[in-house]
Structure 1
Amino acid sequence: MLVLVYVDDIMVATNCEESKCKLFEELDKAYGLKEQGLLSEYLGIEVDQTPDTVTLRQGKYAREVLETFGYDNAHAVGNPMETNVRLVPLGDNEESDTSFEYRKATGMLMYLATGTRPDLAYAVGQLSRFVSKPSNKHTA
């Protein structure tokens, strides 16, 4: 049995229905916690289950990220960042671009990359190197 607890969110994965029922009986006695049925969402990650597969998605969150930064009409691309692009830091005398919430965007994209979108990890890793002093080249 696998039990994940994050603040007040609990997820239980098991192949033994009897053990799961016993666990929830004890949790109900101690904390008034009831079983909610088949998992459909956990920590903002959408979960679709069939007898053969479990699919995790963050579609709602990805749309929220796009809307937050005004990219709601953006089109999907096959590769989030070409690997031959070389990003460089600003020079000492250059001013950082403060018109874009770079740290917030990088953090939101990092949550996607670590949750369900590992294809974003390289691009987000590269962009996160510049959170202290981003330029408009880093947001293009």
Structure 2
Amino acid sequence: MDPYFFIFKDDHHTIYVLIYVDDILVTSNSAARVTTLLTQLSSEFTIKDLGPLSFFLGIEATYNSTCLLLFQSRYVSDLLQRAGMMDCKPSSTPMAITFISSNTGSVPFAGATKYRSIVGALQYVTLTLPDVAFTANHVCEFMHAPTEDHSGLLSNASCVI
């Protein structure tokens, strides 16, 4: 299930196609070229054109007069729900000044699989929230053997998203 990204360029047009399993995103500087490509694809495959981009792989898209805005509000809300942290107090900084930097001296965390799942989702959030990248990468350091202390660190990391 690897993503595939294709680019077609000629003298005046560029078409981008991103494929992930059965989700396809097509964009171009030419609406006519997109229509032509979708017509060609529909002659070989069953496709459904969902219109302008609004949601793709957990990323929401909104257009304004000058640009396309990408955000993950729904994805983050689902992540907080999964982590049991919907009521956490928001933090203005991505990570506490003091933090755990080793696995020594703490009890192994019983929910290691859940920890790994939440950390992976937190990494994905860094696509639209790069300010949490350091924190996400820090909690990744302990994915192989998280402890109870790291569980608390993950809670702090989740409250900044």
Short-chain TM bin? 0.7 to 0.9
Cα distance, 1:94–1:20 mapped onto 2, change above 3 Å: closer
1:10-45 alpha-carbon deviations (Å, 9 max, x no partner): 111112122111101101111132422111011121
Number of residues paired by the alignment?
Answer: 137
1:124 aligns with 2:136: yes
Q: Which runs of 5+ in 2 are unaligned?
A: 1-14, 153-161
In structure 2, the residue matched to 1:61 is 75
Kindly report which structure 2 residues correspond to 1:1-140, keeping only aligned pairs within 5 A, or say none.
Answer: 1-82=15-96, 84-91=97-104, 95-99=107-111, 101-113=114-126, 115-140=127-152
Match of 2:70, SS state, is: strand
Distance of 1:30 and 1:134 partners within structure 2:
48
Distance of 2:50 and 2:81 partners within structure 1:
31
Q: How many Å apart are 1:106 and its aligned residue? A: 1.0
Q: How many Å apart are 1:58 and its aligned residue? A: 1.0
Match of 2:125, SS state, is: helix
TM value normalised by structure 1: 0.86
TM value normalised by structure 2: 0.76
RMSD: 1.8
